[in-house]
Amino acid sequence: MGPLIEEYAKRLKLSWIRQHYHEVEATSNEEFLLKLMEQEIQQREERKTNLLLSQSQLPEVPSVPFIWDEIDYTQGLTRNYFLEGEFLSKKENLIFHGGVGTGKTFLSTVIGLNAIQSSAKNIKFFTVANLVNRLLDAHEKGTIGRFHKQLEKLDLLILDELGFIPLHKQGAELLFQVISLCYERNSLIITTNLRFGEWNHVFGDPILTEAVIDRLIHHSHLVVFKGPSHRMKESLLQN
Ligand SMILES: Nc1ncnc2c1ncn2[C@@H]1O[C@H](COP(=O)(O)OP(=O)(O)OP(=O)(O)O)[C@@H](O)[C@H]1O
Ligand SMILES: [Mg+2]
């Protein structure tokens, strides 16, 4: 019977059952079936989480706990609002503003990781420079439509480091297209060291800048990272 069970499990794509059914111990048929189903489901969920994690391109999360006292956010919001994906279900955006080493990348990574692990959300992390390079490349190769479709399917797009480098005209326009695409469709987290008034330096055109800010702030919360640079603190501690 063994080979047939394995054959049928394969056809039904029950890979845990195919490999492990003979190890399961139970006192009734029902208990046996239940255990098989539970293990199969668990393995599928683990596989899905791992796939989402590898597709997300999230950086590694620092091993220290995140200090929440060093950020300011709109009254009424809670840590759970960020961590349990409430802003995702409302398709809201988060703008993280603050100086270097204050935890913007850290918190956006923690939020992304949580969204994958607790609710199997489809997310992607890019630095703005990276995304713009990908967009320019896709534009040149004529594959921008396909790339947009991938981005449309995301629940959350994290754009890190807006403002580190100014964009060329075409890069700014392609980034604007992505922000428009996400508008009211999926959530964005944008981290930046610039105030809105300075975004013109990145987009290089006041009308385009206004259009970007207009779309973003419509459903957004501003989170201000006011702490000292932890990076500096860490390197001072090492010396
Ligand atoms: N609020 C915080 N709580 C605990 N550790 C923190 C916090 N903020 C920053 N750190 C530590 O400092 C390091 C740098 O933080 P992070 O990379 O998130 O800064 P950033 O705001 O993204 O800086 P940059 O603008 O230069 O990209 C983290 O890896 C972490 O170890
Ligand atoms: Mg950063």
Percent share of the chain, pLDDT over 90: 76
Average model confidence (pLDDT) across the chain: 92
- Note whether residue 17 is domain-resident: yes
Count of domains for the chain: 2
Is 123 in the same domain as 152? yes
Strands (E), the chain: 71-73, 93-98, 123-127, 156-162, 187-192, 220-225
> Can you tell me the distance from the alpha carbon of 108 to that of 106, in angstroms, rounded to the nearest whole number?
6
Domain end among 16, 35, 56 = 56
Return the ligand number nearest the Cα of 108.
1
Q: Is the residue at 63 inside a domain? A: no
Cβ(193) – ligand 1 distance below 6 Å: yes
Tokens 């492990």, located at residue: 20
Asked whether residue 108 carries a pLDDT value surpassing 90, the answer given is: yes
118-143 pLDDT tens trace: 999 999 999 999 999 999 999 999 99
pLDDT for 171 equals 95
Q: Are residues 215 and 162 in the same domain?
A: yes
Nearest ligand (C-alpha, residue 192): 1
192 domain-assigned: yes
Taking residues 156-162, report their average pLDDT.
97
Q: Does 82 lie in the same domain as 195?
A: yes
Co-location of 116 and 196 in the same domain: yes
pLDDT surpassing 80 at residue 239: no
Beta bridge partners of 187: 156
Please check whether residues 17 and 104 belong to one and the same domain: no
Last residue of a domain, one of 56, 79, 99: 56
CATH number (domain holding residue 148):
3.40.50.300
Q: Are residues 83 and 50 in the same domain?
A: no
Q: Which residues constitute the domain of residue 95?
A: 68-238
**Cα of 58 to ligand 2 centre, how many Å?**
12
Q: Are residues 80 and 41 in the same domain?
A: no
- Does 62 reside within a domain? no
Q: Is residue 34 part of a domain?
A: yes
pLDDT at 172: 95
What is the mean predicted confidence (pLDDT) over 184-191?
93
Checking if the pLDDT of 224 tops 70, the result is yes
Long-range contacts of the stretch 144-148 (C-beta < 8 A, 24+)? 144/174, 148/177, 148/178, 148/181
Q: Is the residue at 61 inside a domain?
A: no
Q: 92 and 13 in one domain?
A: no
CB-ligand 1 contact for 104 (6 Å cutoff): yes
Distance (Å) from CA 118 to ligand 2 centroid:
24
Residue 213 maps to a domain: yes
CA 151 – CA 178 distance, rounded (Å)? 8
> Is a pLDDT exceeding 70 seen at residue 236?
no
- Return the residue whose CA atom lies nearest to atom 18 of ligand 1: 103
pLDDT of residue 76: 81
85 and 118 part of one domain: yes
46, part of any domain:
yes
User: pLDDT tens for residues 201-213?
Assistant: 899 999 999 999 9
Last residue of a domain, one of 17, 32, 56: 56
pLDDT of residue 164: 84
Question: Across-strand partners of 162?
Answer: 192
- Ligand 1 mean position to 230 CA, how many Å? 6
Other residues' Cβ atoms within 10 Å of the Cβ of residue 44: 14
Structure tokens at 10: 């394969």
Residues 32, 127, single domain; the answer is: no
Residues 78 and 47 in one domain: no
| 3-62 pLDDT per residue, tens | 899 999 999 999 999 999 999 999 999 999 999 999 999 999 999 999 999 999 999 999
For ligand 1, mutation pick of 68, 73, 231 (most atoms within 8 Å of CB): 231
Same domain, 134 and 200: yes
